[in-house]
Amino acid sequence: MSNATVAQDTHAVRIIAPPQFPVTWEHADDEQLTWLHDRMHNPDPVLPLENAFWGRVYEAFNRATEAYDMPVRLKTRCINTYFYMAAKTVVAPEEMEAQRARADERMDAAMARLHSLWTEEWFPEIRSHLAWWDTFDLSRATVPELLGHLEETLSRLLRLWEIHFRVVLPSYIAMSQLDDLYRDLFDGDGAFGSYRLLQGFDNKTLEADRALWELSRRALASDEVRRVLEAYPAPEVVAEMGKTPAGGAFRDELDAYLREYGLRGEKWGLRYPCWIEDPSAAIKNLKNYIMQCDLNPTRERAKLAAERDAAVAAVRGRLQDYPGPVVERFEFLLKAAQEGVVLSEDHGFWIDFGATYRLRRVLLEFGRRLCEAGTIDKTSDVFYLTVDEVRASVAVPHCGDHRSLVELRRRDVEHFRAITPPPALGADNGPPPDDPMGRFFGKFFGGPPPAAESPDVLKGNAGSPGRVRGPAKVIRSLADAEKLRAGDVLVAETTAPPWTPLFATAAAIVTDSGGVLSHCAVVAREYRIPAVVGTGRATTTIRDGEMVEVDGDAGLVRICPA
């Protein structure tokens, strides 16, 4: 850190916040922690209700780490509208080794039966929570019923996110440990040696993408449907479809798709309308797809799976020379990681998006009522209130006017939206420890990007292999999805799972955030397109339309001279 000075009485180096991003610390201890901005999940400012939501999410994270006997807890804080978190160890140094051993044992026990834990315990429970929300009639509930529903929503949310972290921790740790072992054994086998053993498995993200692709093939089968998709802007497509029988039939198919896969907004968070509320993003993808010639996702998957099986067989051959404990550990981690790579996407479909959509509906019902009462101007302004404010204003109708409060907070958010938040605040305690946990965090979040020698070269993490050259399209939200054409390089801050239908159109992906185990990188490998993730500055450096060369193996992006 260049803007750092050595703090007194500690080994940590205090990070000086830039003047436009002032920080005051409520507790002296907090300043000793390293507060990281999670740009991958929360690149934008968070609204007060979202802050409460994320606070609950990481409370659930702490429950999961406690359940796994892991010595780490996360503290979270909204600083200048951006969401930061800091890891804290909760065990005395002398007890650390014993605690780690217990945690390893617990983690191994979960890794040993990831798939059956998911199918027999976690997934049925997730479904039961989602069904509970779906049977509640929000619009007809009395105020006390709605308030009760909110309380139960919040407590079920805590439980769902505890399940979330109980799933993802062993899933990702298995993948990361398999990669650690693979590198120990077969050093020099490229950045993706271990990840080839995990490719070609289906998951909910790919399933949703495939269903959308198949919908585009059905659109091509009807001249009328194709004409509507080609000729009308996305917001008008649905209405236009209704005007012909073939269009009407297609609209019904689209509705069925949205009911199944459309409970996803464009990013993690509460404020983003889901596709079932606004299908524009799905339609923009369809408009891209009908311009592309046939690809067969099922055949592509089979190819990936065959490659994977051949790679696994080759590794098993090489392992015949090794002692039994090495082979046993490899097989253990391979099974867990192959189950984990599927769960690393599936959990998000049901919890990150499925459950969040239900929460969003509950909060929007509060918003609708507050709007009707004149407490706020727009339904979605509810996200600018705190949970307590929501509770209080619904309980006593017409008692408050929060419009100026919302306006104040909106201005605050817009002010900070224009400011790039520092990646870290508090104290720089050095790189994460080189232990299995530290390596997993590094592979998931990506760590700080290394500096490049040349201003025309961006360094990031190798995300998906291959090398490709194409015009860059900087996509800041799915509203821009239409400008992406086949052969373009998609440049984005982060890509949440609902972005991956774009991967069928893009020639390569470049992101600001994330590591080799980020959603973006995992799915790019399934699409077999090059990806460089975690460059830190792609969206602010690369201009729309610029020619770029993406080297997914080296983690390099070169901006080509015009």
Residue among 177 and 280 whose Cβ is closer to another protein? 177
User: Can residue 184 be called a binding residue for another protein (CB under 8 A)?
Assistant: yes
Q: Least distance in Å: CB of 299 to another protein? A: 36
Q: Which residue has the tokens 């009911």?
A: 259
Judged by CB under 8 A, which of 325, 418, 453, 454 binds another protein? 325
User: Nearest approach, Cβ of 165 to another protein (angstroms)?
Assistant: 23
Structure tokens that stand for 271 in this block: 């404020």
Beta strand extents in 263-413 (DSSP E only):
none
Q: Residue 340 Cβ, how far from another protein at the closest point, in Å? A: 17
Helices (H) and strands (E) in the chain, counts: 18, 14
Mark residues 200-229: x for contact with another protein by CB under 8 A, - for none: ------------------------------
Query: Which member of 22, 245, 317, 323 binds another protein (CB under 8 A)?
Result: 323
Q: Shortest approach of another protein to residue 71 CB, angstroms?
A: 18
Applying CB under 8 A, does 341 fall inside the site for another protein? no
- What's the closest the beta carbon of residue 270 comes to another protein, in angstroms? 40
Q: Which residues pair with 66 in a beta bridge?
A: none
Q: How far apart are CA 324 and CA 322, in angstroms?
A: 6
Nearer to another protein, 329 or 483 (CB): 329
Binding mask 159-178 for another protein (x = CB under 8 A): ------------------x-
Length of the chain measured in residues: 562
Total of residues contacting another protein (CB under 8 A): 14
Q: For another protein, which is the closer residue by CB, 197 or 538?
A: 197
For residue 350, the 8-state DSSP code is I
What residues from 402 to 441 belong to the interface with another protein (CB under 8 A)?
Answer: 436
- d(CA 7, CA 18) in angstroms, rounded, equals 17
Using the rule CB under 8 A, is 324 a contact of another protein?
Answer: yes
Give strand ranges (E) for 51-188: 72-79, 82-89
CB of 111 to another protein, least distance (A): 13
- Cβ closer to another protein: 289 or 440? 440
User: Nearest approach, Cβ of 313 to another protein (angstroms)?
Assistant: 17
Encoded tokens for 521: 């990188």
Choose one: 17-25, 149-157, 321-329, 341-349; the region binding another protein (CB under 8 A).
321-329
Give the nearer residue to another protein in terms of CB position, either 98 or 395: 98
Distance CA 389, CA 402 (A): 9
3-state secondary structure of 494: coil
- Cα distance between residue 513 and residue 496, in whole Å: 11
128, amino acid identity: S
DSSP string, 345-386: HHHIIIIIIIIHHHHHHHHHHHHHHHHHTTSSSSGGGGGGS-
Name the segment binding another protein (CB under 8 A); options: 42-50, 125-133, 324-332, 497-505.
324-332
Nearer to another protein, 180 or 307 (CB): 180
CB of 336 to another protein, least distance (A): 13
CB of 168 to another protein, least distance (A): 21
Of 195-203, 241-249, 314-322, 470-478, which part binds another protein (CB under 8 A)? 314-322
419: its two tokens: 């400011």
DSSP 517: T
Distance CA 375, CA 387 (A): 15
Give the β-pairing of 4-6 and 82-89. Answer: unpaired
What string marks each residue from 29 to 58 as x (binds another protein by CB under 8 A) or -?
A: ------------------------------
Least Å distance between CB 104 and another protein? 9
Tell me: does residue 326 bind another protein (CB under 8 A). yes
C-alpha dist (Å) from residue 489 to 472, 495, 531, 544: 5, 13, 9, 10
Nearer to another protein, 185 or 392 (CB): 185
Longest CA span, the chain: 76
**Residue among 90, 218, 296, 322 that touches another protein (CB under 8 A):** 322
Q: Which stretch binds another protein (CB under 8 A): 180-188, 232-240, 392-400, 544-552?
A: 180-188
Q: For the chain, how far is it from start to end, CA to CA, in angstroms?
A: 33
Per-residue buried b or exposed e for 364-377, using 16+ beta carbons within 10 Å of the residue's own CB: bbbbbbbbebebbe
Where are the strands (E) in 90-185, listed by range? none
Q: Which is nearer to another protein, 22 or 324 (CB)?
A: 324
Measured distance CA(227)–CA(306) in Å, rounded: 38
Any contact of residue 180 with another protein (CB under 8 A)? Answer: yes
Of positions 74, 141, 147, 185, contacts another protein by CB under 8 A:
185
CB-based contacts of 350: which residues, under 8 Å, 6+ apart? 123, 126, 127, 130, 204
Question: Is residue 181 involved in binding another protein (CB under 8 A)?
Answer: yes
Q: Where are the alpha helices (DSSP H) in 375-512?
A: 387-395, 403-417, 436-445
Q: Considering Cα of 453, then 455, then 456, then 459, what sign does the dihedral take?
A: positive
Point out which residues bind another protein (CB under 8 A).
177, 180-181, 184-185, 320-326, 329, 436
